[in-house]
Amino acid sequence: MKLPITVFVLATTAFATSALAQPAQPLQPLPPADQAPPVQPDRVTLGPAAPLDNVDRREGNWRVELGYRGSYIRSAGYQPFSDNGFLPEVSIAASRTLFKSGRFSFASGIAWDEGSSDATARGDSASLSVQRLTVTLEGRLGFGPWGYAYLRAAPGAAMQKAEIDDPSSPDPLTKSNWLFATDISAGYAWLIFPRWQRSAVEPRLWLQAEGGYGWVAEQQLALAPALPSGSTERVTGVDLGTLALQGGYFRIAAAVSF
């Protein structure tokens, strides 16, 4: 798993490097000195209605993302639920830039990933659904109109629900619980439009891609039928071993900043 992650990070770094290597764009004519606005410090106070000036505000203050996350799980406990070890998820995230200094900035927000996987396990229908709620902590390095690279840590919690429908059981065998989860990733956000109005506070569209490693605490998959309350049946479930939703992942997303 290390190799693919390394390659992915190299790829995202290549994005950044190529952004730096772009030929310089023709400079916009500066306004006359007497019309020049007061010089602003590079560190800005962020607000909803920043004045039109020479400050690069392309990252925006707020950011909303909608994307697709694919995780590669090598845990033996995941095999009953997937025929290829892949876990697809939908990602929704929102963040706000809290700090900016030169090309560097820091943003924080929340992210929600939701996905599921189905497979046939020894002839039974098996499914695993995951909901992951994390707090994102993101450091960004801006490259002007070419977007920015970022490193993201996202601690949080994941709710896993495993279910197997075995005809020998009176009810489907299930187990669900919340577990500690963390993602570490690196990525690149590419500014699509508009790219050149660096100071304008306006909605901007981004495409971004990241790769990283997702970690969810292990759990023992002791599945049991969900009997109705008050049932006097004595039913022994089945132990599928340990499930650890851990492994490399990628995420591609579209984002809007404003």
Partner 1 sequence: MIARNLTLLGVACACLMVSCRGQSKYWTEPVATSGVTFGLAGGVAVVDDVDHRVVILTGTADQGLASQSFAIGHNFASAATSADGLTLFVLTTGDQPVQTKSDQLPQLTVIQFAPMTFQVQPKFPKVYQMAEPVSNLAIDPLGHYAVGYEGPGAAAAFAQNPNEIVIFDLTNDPAPQPTSLSQAAPNPVSRSIRSYGGTPQQLTFSPTLMLPANPAMTPGVEASARRLLLIETNLDVSIVDLTHAFDTPAVIADPYGRKEITVRLTSGTGTDSLSPTGLVIDPAEADGRIAFFTTGDSNVWSLQLVPSTATPPLNDFTPSINLTDVGSTPSAIQFVRTDSGLRVAALVPAMSSAMLVEPDTSVTTQVALPSPYSSMSLVTSVVNGPSSPTDVTLLWSAGSRASATGVALWALGNAVGQAYRSIEVLQIDAPIQAVLDVPAPNDNLKVLATAAGQGAGDFYVLDLVQRTANPIHTTSSPLLTIAPDGLRMWAYDQGFDLAQIDFTTLNPIPLTTETAIAAVYDIANPVGACPSGMPLCRSLVAINATGTLGATVFDALSPQATARQDVALLLEGP
Rule CB under 8 A: which residues touch partner 1? Answer: 1, 3-5, 7-8, 10-12, 14-15, 18, 22, 70, 72, 74, 76-77, 79-80, 82-86, 119-124, 164, 166-170, 173, 209, 211, 221, 223, 225, 233-241, 248, 250
Q: Which is nearer to partner 1, 13 or 177 (CB)?
A: 13
Burial class (CB within 10 angstroms; exposed 0-12, middle 13-18, buried 19+) of 188 = buried
Q: Which is nearer to partner 1, 71 or 136 (CB)?
A: 71
Token code pair at residue 236: 């022994």
Instruction: Tell the smallest beta-carbon distance from residue 108 to partner 1 (Å).
Output: 26
Q: Which is nearer to partner 1, 120 or 197 (CB)?
A: 120
Q: Which is nearer to partner 1, 131 or 169 (CB)?
A: 169
Q: Which long-range contacts (CB under 8 A, 24 or more apart) does 196-200 make?
A: 196/25, 196/145, 197/58, 198/54, 198/55, 198/56, 198/57, 198/58, 198/144, 198/145, 199/50, 199/52, 199/53, 199/54, 199/55, 199/56, 199/57, 200/52, 200/57
SS3 annotation, 183-206: EEEEEEEEEEECCCCCCCCCCEEE
Instruction: Tell the smallest beta-carbon distance from residue 230 to partner 1 (Å).
Output: 16
Radius of gyration of the chain (CA): 23
Q: Which is nearer to partner 1, 56 or 166 (CB)?
A: 166
